Amino acid sequence: MEEATEPQDRAARKVREGTVVSNKMDKTAVVAVVSRAPHARYNKMVLRTTKLHAHDETNDVNIGDKVRVMETRPMSKTKRWRITDVLERAK
């Protein structure tokens, strides 16, 4: 019989860095994450932008801030990320 006292290790959560593009909602910010991917035919690196809805419990981020977001449980229909760090404030 195996020991059941060891906690189950869960998979590492995804972490992304991006820029806040909207903070008009209550406790929610929209973060634009830019990623580089090669074009399917031409192999040139192209920039892809993904907008993520992130939970911001204290409403302290502003448009233009660089933030780090982490994947979390679904909090609403579109919100699956939360802001963990503010890396740089907008000037």
Q: What kind of fold does domain 15-88 have according to CATH?
A: OB fold (Dihydrolipoamide Acetyltransferase, E2P) (2.40.50)
- Give residue limits of the domains in the chain: 15-88
For residue 66, give the 3-state DSSP assignment: strand
pLDDT in tens, 9-24: 778 999 999 999 999 9
Alpha carbon distance 50, 46 (integer Å)? 13
Give pLDDT tens digits along the chain (91 positions). 555 565 677 789 999 999 999 999 999 999 999 999 999 999 999 999 999 999 999 999 999 999 999 999 999 999 999 999 999 999 8
Amino acid identity at 79: K
* β-pair type (79-88, 45-55): parallel
Residues 6 or more apart in contact with residue 70 via CB below 8 angstroms: 13, 14, 15, 81, 82, 84
Residue 16 — φ and ψ, nearest 5°? -135, 160
